[in-house]
Amino acid sequence: MFCYQCQETAGNKGCLLKGVCGKDYSTANLMDLLIFNLKGIAIITTAMRRAGVAADYRTADKTIMESLFATITNANFDYTSIAKRVDNTFALKARLLQEATAQGVQLPANEAVTMQGSPEEYDRLALGVGILRETNEDLRSLKELTIYGLKGLAAYAEHAGRLGYEDDEINAFVERALHDVTMGLLSADELTALVLETGSFGVKVMALLDKANTESFGHPEITEVNIGVGNRPGILISGHDLKDMEMLLEQTEGTGIDVYTHSEMLPANYYPKFKKYKHFIGNYGNAWWKQREEFETFNGPILFTTNCIVPPTAGASYRDRVYTTNAAGYPGFKYIESDAAGHKDFSEIIAMAKTCQPPTAIESGSIIGGFAHHQVLSMADKVVEAVSSGAIRKFVVMSGCDGRQKGRSYFTEFAEALPSDTVILTSGCAKFRYNKLPLGDIGGIPRVLDAGQCNDSYSLAVIALKLKEVMGLDDINKLPIVYNIAWYEQKAVIVLLALLSLGIKNIHVGPTLPAFLSPNVAKVLIDNFGIAGIGTVEEDIKTLIA
């Protein structure tokens, strides 16, 4: 096992025996084998696409996206579920290989294409196909940076896909990128270009997901979200999948059960289509890493639609109340399948909720959010006026992820220390570090504007581009917007690459720079994009705001 894909990697170097996230040794290795198979599939489909032959690309696309997603930090800890994916990818690879050969497609020689194995061989095969297979530290860094971007991209593509929105150009790119990092033909410069191209496809996928979400559920609007509790039993839904949110609200209506969001599902509260449900009470708790305490006091069942599962402690009372679906999984948690049409039956969760106590209040009051592009642009005049008059000196983008490391209190302190003529633009679960602070407003514009989930960073880019146009600027970097971003897992990687591909410079990233950036690759990012880590609150306020 060697894994260094997330911010909490051991010693900021790499997890070797067990993940800090809780992923065990053999599951981590098995994920390497799964990725290796995806690379093999991608090499075949890329060759077939280039040859212009017909094939079952749809199954390949779906398999690749879902499996990449399943290897994201904290998404799936279940060896059996990953092994099932490995079975499927070996079978799919064999089938595609046969199709390609039958149609006379020339395939490059690569072990990722030809390797086959049976379940009893998986553990042994996995040992030879991990990250350290690439021995050049810089090439490894660039390849893994691409793959982590692709993982984040795949998660967003999967959400859009579940709402019926797909883009074959994105699918073909993911496969070509996997092909390119595996074939070993690209120089460091070409790999750097691939990293940036991954970022530009990140923009495309976030735009696609934005379209999928807003066309399906309406444009997020300014909303006061209740953070207290009602007096009926509830179901807590976590993760990013709004299709699941919709189905859960539909199926719980009139059952006497309430619905609450946790962590990254908070922004579901901002969508018109969800707000109309009376039994949708609000948000319970904070970011993902607080789940061990918050799931105890919630008292009812919990549904994980995506990643950020924290392994429960041995004595956790909620263990039997947790359900997973989609790419998420944990040994012992129940898994909800979908039928061929994408429908899920949540009746087991609803029945369980009926036997549970209502949630115990841990907070009261409300928080405000819903500042995605449509909402903010509808008040563009007010925003531009506040900037021109000097009432707003700077916008500070503080998007990304929260995490459990102590050093992350920096982000709360930074938010508190910001001068009162600055506004925080946020998205992702990073917001839980400051969205309950009494930061006030500037002429009616709240000082923390939450656009939504991490993928809604797209909204912040749309807002920036619009402001640039309205203010008649020739460079996005001339806007009074600075970036101080928190990262944890691979969705933050695609968000960061997307911002870089838009030409945004001088982004600060914390609490630590990724371990997967080799010193040379980090230098390229620092020299060309002005990427920086974080310092002390005082220093960073000086650098970013003064």
**Which secondary structure element, helix H or strand E, spans residue 450, and what is its range?**
strand 448-450
- CB count, 10 Å around CB of 313? 10
Residue with the shortest CB distance to ligand SF4 = 19
What tokens were used for 285? 């708790």
- Cα(386)–Cα(443) distance, integer angstroms: 8
Q: Is the Cβ of residue 15 or residue 486 nearer to ligand FSO in the bound state?
A: 486
Q: Is the Cβ of residue 321 or residue 431 nearer to ligand FSO in the bound state?
A: 431
Q: Residue 226 interacts with ligand FSO (CB under 6 A)?
A: no
8 binds, among ligand SF4, ligand FSO, none (CB under 5 to 8 A by kind): ligand SF4
User: Nearest distance from residue 10's CB to ligand SF4, in Å?
Assistant: 6
User: Nearest distance from residue 28's CB to ligand SF4, in Å?
Assistant: 6
3-state secondary structure 280-343: EEEECCCCHHHHHHHHHHHCCCEEECCCCCCCCCCCCCCHHHEEEECCCECCCCEEECECCCCC
350 binds, among ligand FSO, ligand SF4, none (CB under 5 to 8 A by kind): none
Q: Is the Cβ of residue 10 or residue 465 nearer to ligand SF4 in the bound state?
A: 10
What tokens were used for 393? 């000196």
- Cα(319)–Cα(441) distance, integer angstroms: 41
Length of the chain: 546
401 binds, among ligand SF4, ligand FSO, none (CB under 5 to 8 A by kind): ligand FSO
- Cα(119)–Cα(83) distance, integer angstroms: 8
- Cα(265)–Cα(287) distance, integer angstroms: 10
Q: Residue 203 interacts with ligand FSO (CB under 6 A)?
A: no
Q: Is the Cβ of residue 23 or residue 140 nearer to ligand SF4 in the bound state?
A: 23
What contacts 12, CB < 8 A, 6 or more positions away?
A: 512, 515
Q: Is the Cβ of residue 220 or residue 403 nearer to ligand SF4 in the bound state?
A: 403
Q: Residue 8 interacts with ligand FSO (CB under 6 A)?
A: no
For ligand FSO, the binding residue among 67, 226, 263, 457 (CB under 6 A) is 263
Q: Residue 429 interacts with ligand FSO (CB under 6 A)?
A: yes
Q: Residue 491 interacts with ligand FSO (CB under 6 A)?
A: yes
What contacts 224, CB < 8 A, 6 or more positions away?
A: 366, 367, 368
Q: Is the Cβ of residue 55 or residue 265 nearer to ligand FSO in the bound state?
A: 265
Q: Helix and strand tally (H, E) in the chain? A: 19, 15
Q: Is the Cβ of residue 264 or residue 294 nearer to ligand FSO in the bound state?
A: 264
Give Cα separations from 363 to 229, 359, 360, 413, 540 (angstroms).
8, 11, 9, 21, 31
| CA 35 distance to own-chain centroid | 18
Q: Residue 236 interacts with ligand FSO (CB under 6 A)?
A: no
For ligand FSO, the binding residue among 261, 489, 499, 540 (CB under 6 A) is 489
Largest CA distance in the chain: 69
- Cα(94)–Cα(91) distance, integer angstroms: 5
Q: Is the Cβ of residue 22 or residue 108 nearer to ligand SF4 in the bound state?
A: 22
- Cα(375)–Cα(148) distance, integer angstroms: 31
263 binds, among ligand FSO, ligand SF4, none (CB under 5 to 8 A by kind): ligand FSO
User: Nearest distance from residue 452's CB to ligand FSO, in Å?
Assistant: 10
User: Nearest distance from residue 19's CB to ligand SF4, in Å?
Assistant: 3
300 binds, among ligand SF4, ligand FSO, none (CB under 5 to 8 A by kind): none
Residues 385-414 that bind ligand FSO (CB under 6 A): 401
User: Nearest distance from residue 63's CB to ligand FSO, in Å?
Assistant: 22
Q: Residue 264 interacts with ligand FSO (CB under 6 A)?
A: yes
Q: Which residues pair with 223 in a beta bridge?
A: 369
- Cα(153)–Cα(150) distance, integer angstroms: 5
- 399: nearest Cα among 453, 464, 480: 453
Q: Residue 149 interacts with ligand FSO (CB under 6 A)?
A: no
Long-range CB contact pairs, 475-478, < 8 A, 24+: 475/503, 476/502, 476/503, 476/504, 477/503, 477/504, 477/505, 477/506
- Cα(303)–Cα(305) distance, integer angstroms: 6
Q: Which stretch binds ligand FSO (CB under 6 A): 162-170, 457-465, 467-475, 484-492?
A: 484-492
HSE value, Cβ hemisphere, 13 Å, CA-based, for 385: 9
| CA 103 distance to own-chain centroid | 38
20 binds, among ligand SF4, ligand FSO, none (CB under 5 to 8 A by kind): ligand SF4
130 binds, among ligand FSO, ligand SF4, none (CB under 5 to 8 A by kind): none
Give the three-state DSSP class for 482.
strand
Residues 440-479 that bind ligand FSO (CB under 6 A): 453-454
Residues 269-298 that bind ligand FSO (CB under 6 A): 288
19 binds, among ligand SF4, ligand FSO, none (CB under 5 to 8 A by kind): ligand SF4
**Which secondary structure element, helix H or strand E, spans residue 446, and what is its range?**
strand 445-446
Q: Residue 7 interacts with ligand FSO (CB under 6 A)?
A: no
Q: Is the Cβ of residue 4 or residue 201 nearer to ligand SF4 in the bound state?
A: 4
For ligand FSO, the binding residue among 286, 488, 496, 534 (CB under 6 A) is 488
Which residue blocks in 71-115 are alpha helix, DSSP H? 79-102, 111-114
User: Binding residues for ligand SF4, per CB under 6 A?
Assistant: 3-6, 8-9, 15, 19-21, 23, 28, 73
Q: Which stretch binds ligand FSO (CB under 6 A): 211-219, 224-232, 377-385, 488-496?
A: 488-496
**Residues of this chain that bind ligand FSO (CB under 6 A):** 240, 263-264, 288, 307-308, 401, 428-429, 453-454, 488-489, 491-492
